[in-house]
Amino acid sequence: MIDLYADTLLLVASTIRTATPLVLAGLAGLCAERAGVVDIGLEGKMLGAAFAAATAAAVTGSAWVGLGAGLATSLVLALLHAYVSITQRGNQIVSGMAINIVIAGLAPTLAGAWFHQGGQTPLLSGGARFTEINLPFAESLASVPVIGPLYSEVISGHNIITYMTVAIVPLVAWMLYRTRFGLRLRAVGENPEAVDTAGISVAKLRYQAMAIAGLLCGLSGVVLSTGLGAGFIRDMSAGKGYLALAAMIFGRWKPVPTLLACLLFGFVDALQGRLQGVALPLIGEIPVQFTIMLPYVLTVLILAGFAGRMVAPKASGIPYEKDH
């Protein structure tokens, strides 16, 4: 019983770590799409931010400088995407994919040219990383039954960006649903003509939404290379941008359901790691191939069975043009 409890706590802690970049990228996609811009370039922005953060942190030895560089890189990419899809009214999928492909090639190339380690940045250590923070009393409370392990394993011992994420989710929800800016942002994704008629600039609102998306996505990249990992390695985002996009759709373009979807993805991922090589009663040892398949099977089942109808913001993906 105690073992089961301890195991569950470890799973939850692992879920939180795994879900952090997903949640941030998912919220980024959400801000963009609620404003009517489809953002399939999350993967590229995440990778670009991871690369910039690792590079700046490796050169300066400061994770905070890395954070700034990561955010700036992702912001620039987001605004580029915004320029193509808002000002130039280009195809948003094409623009997003272009960002993904360019970064996938450019980041390892630049890393190779600057650090001569074949597309990697040097391994980061010490102050160049956001290391795990042990909250006060985590050590001394660990022996307290039930609550102690919960506090020391699950609540304490994450990096600062994970704690920031915990604050960012309600912040984004509040912004979207409780502020005038959020109301306009949602309106511009549903019915831009109405917003325009009210005398508010559609383009400006969408640019603002993309800037927010860029910063959030940048943070998810920063946590990859300087928090969870220790340096940039090519293709290290490993499809997390697309997964975040799926989580956002699964979460019906709403912040809290998106958070839950990301946590679910994180949980099944942690679970499959835990189930590998474990002999279950009656079944025996499960083959690795099967446990690794589990997250995807679960995703399909949930999407097919429980998620219901997905309704995207009406104007999502459609460039706004005034009638001439």
Partner 1 sequence: MKKTFGRAVLSLAASIVMSVTAMAADFKPVVLYDIGGKFDKSFNEAARVGADAFKAETGIAYREFEPRSETQYEQALKRFARRHADLIVAVGVGYAVAVRNVAKEFPNVKFTVVDAIVDLPNVQSITFKENEGSFLVGMIAAMKTKTNSIGFIGGMDIPLIRRFERGYKQGADYVRKDLTFTENYVGTTPSAWNDPIKAAELAKSQYARGVDIIFSAAGPSGLGVIQAAKDAGKFAIGVDSNQNYVAPGTVLTSMMKRVDLAVHRALAQAKDGTWKPGHTVMDLKDGGVDYALDKYNASLITPEMKAKLDEARAKIISGELVVGDVAGSNTGR
- The letter for the amino acid at 151 is Y
**Quick check: 127 binds partner 1 (CB under 8 A)?**
no
The token pair at 110 is: 């630049």
Q: Which helix (H) or strand (E) holds 162?
A: helix 160-178
Q: Which stretch binds partner 1 (CB under 8 A): 38-46, 123-131, 246-254, 298-306?
A: 123-131
**Quick check: 228 binds partner 1 (CB under 8 A)?**
yes
**Quick check: 125 binds partner 1 (CB under 8 A)?**
yes
Can you tell me whether residue 280 is helix, strand or coil? Answer: strand
**Quick check: 128 binds partner 1 (CB under 8 A)?**
no
Q: Which of 94, 132, 144, 310 lies at the binding interface for partner 1 (CB under 8 A)?
A: 132
User: CA-CA distance, 222 to 216, in Å (whole number)?
Assistant: 10
**Quick check: 238 binds partner 1 (CB under 8 A)?**
yes
Q: Which stretch binds partner 1 (CB under 8 A): 91-99, 188-196, 231-239, 305-313?
A: 231-239
Q: Which of 87, 89, 174, 235 lies at the binding interface for partner 1 (CB under 8 A)?
A: 235
User: CA-CA distance, 57 to 221, in Å (whole number)?
Assistant: 13
Can you tell me whether residue 312 is helix, strand or coil? Answer: coil
CA-based nearest residue to 143, from 268, 270, 2:
2
Q: How many residues of this chain interact with partner 1, rule: CB under 8 A?
A: 34
The token pair at 230 is: 């220790």
- Which of 226, 258 has the CB closer to partner 1? 226
DSSP class of 144? S
Dihedrals phi, psi of 313, to nearest 5 degrees? -55, 135
**Quick check: 18 binds partner 1 (CB under 8 A)?**
yes
What x/- string results for residues 283 through 312 when contact with partner 1 is judged by CB under 8 A?
-----xx--x--------------------
Q: Count CB neighbours of 316 within 10 A.
A: 18
Q: Which stretch binds partner 1 (CB under 8 A): 10-18, 161-169, 186-194, 257-265?
A: 10-18
Contact 50, 221 (CB under 8 A): yes
Q: Footprint of partner 1 on this chain (CB under 8 A)?
A: 7, 10, 13-14, 17-18, 117-120, 123, 125, 131-132, 153, 224, 228-231, 233-236, 238, 269-270, 273-274, 276-277, 288-289, 292
